[in-house]
Amino acid sequence: MILNFSICILPLLSWITSSLAVIPQHPRPVVLWHGLGDSHSSPGMLEFASRIKELHPGIFVHSVFIDQDLSKDRQAGFYGNVNDQIEFVADQLASIPELRDGFDAIGLSQGGQFLRAYVEMYNSPPVQNLITFGSQHMGISDLPGCSRYDFLCQAALRAAKQAVYSDWAQKNLVQAQYYRDPARIQTYLTSNLFLSAVNNEVPAFRNSTYSHNFASLQKLVLVLFTEDKTVVPKESSWFGSEESHDDVRALDNQYSFVGASERGIVPMRLQPLYTEDWIGLRQLDQRGDVVLETCQGEHMQMGDCWEDLVTKFVGGKA
């Protein structure tokens, strides 16, 4: 009887196992964080989410919001405390059942460095692959311009330019919180409450959790727009920055190379942040898990250049 039972049951088990193997799995979910002047469910963001769903049928897409009201969410891109906003988003993501096992993330412009900050500060649930488009990872050395009739933008930037490193600006004006003036690096380091922290630039306040969490990414995909004039310098999207006086002296003393230094840009792999691995970026890169990509055109003119990246690095395929 035992022999006959085995003869009957083993083919059945084999058939069940092979059948389960071909059951399609849902793609890994993805989280989006929009850029400056946009909102979580604007027509552009809804279209972007829809096209991602076409590339990955069945994928769950969540668009981050600071306020569900679209106008207030847009306003939050200009006014607010970035650290408080990221904490709010961390609670938001932790409350979504579909994200509990982890997700991929796409940050558009300033949404990219905010998602990176989420990874470093919280990362629960964890991000697997992070793609950032035109993001300001090493900050900006000039404030972005505004369109002629964007009065909200104009008011925010006027306030920021007047006293970008004041305590009020650093707690209330979003762009001031990632403004990194190469002529005033020491002022930036002592006054800035967001970017200097997530970049672990202040020795007394370096946080090893940030580097541990960031290095836990499977892939970091950094996209630079070749004709970007909104992000200054555009190389910030690849962790480049305008050289400060200290950078110039260090490069003259330690390196003999042509290119980035002559253009006044310190590239990623010559940043102290990288060479001393303050945030785990060098560890990621030496594993081969930092991908540097470009999109041809001005800031956030994505065209179709994003599709191959989202196909490859979203949904659990890479």
Domains of the chain (ranges, CATH numbers): 25-313 (3.40.50.1820)
Contacts of 290 (CB under 8 A, 6+ apart): 219, 220, 222, 281, 284
Q: pLDDT of 35-72, one tens digit each?
A: 999 999 999 999 999 999 999 999 999 999 999 999 99
Looking at residue 126, the DSSP 8-state letter turns out to be: P
- One-letter amino acid at 195 equals L
pLDDT-above-70 percentage for the chain: 82
Report the percentage of the chain scoring pLDDT > 90. 76
Which of 197, 200, 224, 196 has the alpha carbon at shortest distance from 131? 224
User: Can you tell me the distance from the alpha carbon of 21 to that of 18, in angstroms, rounded to the nearest whole number?
Assistant: 5
Which residues sit opposite 131 in a β-bridge?
A: 106, 221
Q: Given phi > 0 = left and psi -120 to 50 = alpha, else beta, which region is 283? A: alpha
As given in the structure block, the two tokens for residue 12 are: 């059945």
Q: Give the model's confidence band at 254: pLDDT under 50 very low, under 70 low, under 90 confident, else very high.
A: very low
Burial 7-40 (b: 16+ CB within 10 A, else e): eeeeeeeeeeeeeeeeeeeebbbbbbbbbbbbbb
pLDDT value at 300 more than 90: yes
Catalogue the active-site residues.
109, 228, 299
Residue at 273: amino acid letter = L
Looking at the DSSP bridge assignments, the partners of residue 62 are 31
265: enclosing H helix or E strand = strand 265-266
pLDDT for the residue numbered 92: 98
The mean pLDDT value for 278-294 works out to: 98
What pLDDT shows up at residue 76? 97
152 in Cβ contact with 131 (< 8 Å): no
pLDDT of residue 244: 80
pTM of the model: 0.85
Is the distance from CB of 159 to CB of 173 less than 8 angstroms?
A: yes
* Least confidently predicted of 54-58, 162-166, 251-255: 251-255
Query: How far is CA 92 from each of CA 64, 87, 97, 108, 277, rounded to the nearest angstrom?
Result: 8, 9, 11, 19, 30
Tally of CB atoms within 10 A around 119: 22
